Amino acid sequence: MQAGRRDLRDIPAGARDPLSAAIGGRDAQTLEVVRRAVAARDVLLAFQPVVDARDPRRVAFYEGLIRILDPEGRPVPAGDFLPAVEATPTGREIDCLALEMGLEVLARQPDIRLSINMSARSIGYRRWLQVLRAGLMRDETVGPRLILEMSEPSVMQVPELVTAFMADLQRQGISFALDDFGTGVTVLRYFRDFLFDIAKIDGTFVRGVARDADNQALVGALIDVARQFDMFTVAEAVERAADAAWLSEAGVDCLQGYYFGAPTVHPPWHLPEVRTGT
């Protein structure tokens, strides 16, 4: 930091400008809503299909996305609270609830695969591990149908722990997906050790890819990296038919996004097929 400049966090709250104070107050209020919802288990899983790029009528797996409900029963947008709670005990409890609900879904629905998000910070968290072990003991078919997703920034916080953690659970049939693939470059040098099963290409590069030569080059490079390390590829945030067609032609294995289905709290696997477009 340059001499004479002060970090915002070093300035007393009362001395900050009105906008900073308002943002801080809103964040604190949201965090309290989340804490209370987690304590009361006022949470749901929403499900979004991940489809085969060659035949979008075939669902490869579903992603289970946790939804926190406010006192009026309205979902709190994940972007409003996840960054604030990711490093807190509340973040660990959210991971536990998401895993617990996901394992219950897999036990009830033996013909689907489901991915559940987790922070690398939950590795070694006793209750999270207890939830996982209990679910695997109740139903031995659950492990091979469970996919655990960790974001690239989360993984890089504790890369050595992630390596050992993945190796142990992969022996039990559990798969791992690297979420937001492409948002960081440091992780590339760890690929030989990580051995992720799935790379989910970040939506930043996917939106509008059919008409963006720069993103086409980036997506192509990410596909090549994933293939080199024998990783299955998923393109996130697919919202247009043209983008879906380009990605399929480029060799992406699976597609996920609003074009194929928005996240819904109503289990979509009862539907005969995924409807595309509007």
Full pLDDT tens readout for the chain, 278 residues: 444 444 544 545 445 555 454 445 566 777 888 899 999 999 999 999 999 999 999 999 999 999 999 888 888 777 778 888 888 899 999 999 999 999 999 999 999 999 999 999 999 899 999 999 999 999 999 999 999 999 988 888 888 889 999 999 999 999 999 999 988 765 667 777 888 999 999 999 999 999 999 999 999 999 999 999 999 999 999 999 999 999 999 999 999 999 999 999 998 887 555 444 44
What six digits make up the tokens of 242?
């043209």
Supply the DSSP symbol for 268. G
**Cα angle value 93/169/103 (rounded, 5°):** 50
The residue type of 148 is L
Q: Residue 137, Cβ neighbours under 10 Å: how many? A: 9
**What dotted CATH number matches 19-270?**
3.20.20.450
First to last CA, the chain: 50
pLDDT tens column, 13-45: 445 555 454 445 566 777 888 899 999 999 999
Closest CA to 17 of 8, 26, 5: 8
If DSSP codes are grouped into helix, strand and coil, which group holds residue 14? Answer: helix
What six digits make up the tokens of 67?
């939804």
Count helices and strands (H / E) in the chain: 10, 9
What six digits make up the tokens of 139?
């139903």
The residue type of 218 is L
What six digits make up the tokens of 192?
């030989």
Closest CA to 132 of 121, 148, 151, 119: 148
**For 106-134, b where at least 16 C-beta lie within 10 A, e where not — what string?**
beeeeebbbbbbbbbbbbebeebeebbee
The CA distance from 155 to 191, in Å, is 11
Task: Confirm if 154 and 166 have CB atoms less than 8 A apart.
Answer: no
Q: Residue 189, Cβ neighbours under 10 Å: how many? A: 9
pLDDT tens column, 38-85: 999 999 999 999 999 999 999 999 999 999 998 888 887 777 788 888
215, containing H or E segment: helix 213-228
- Length reported for the chain: 278
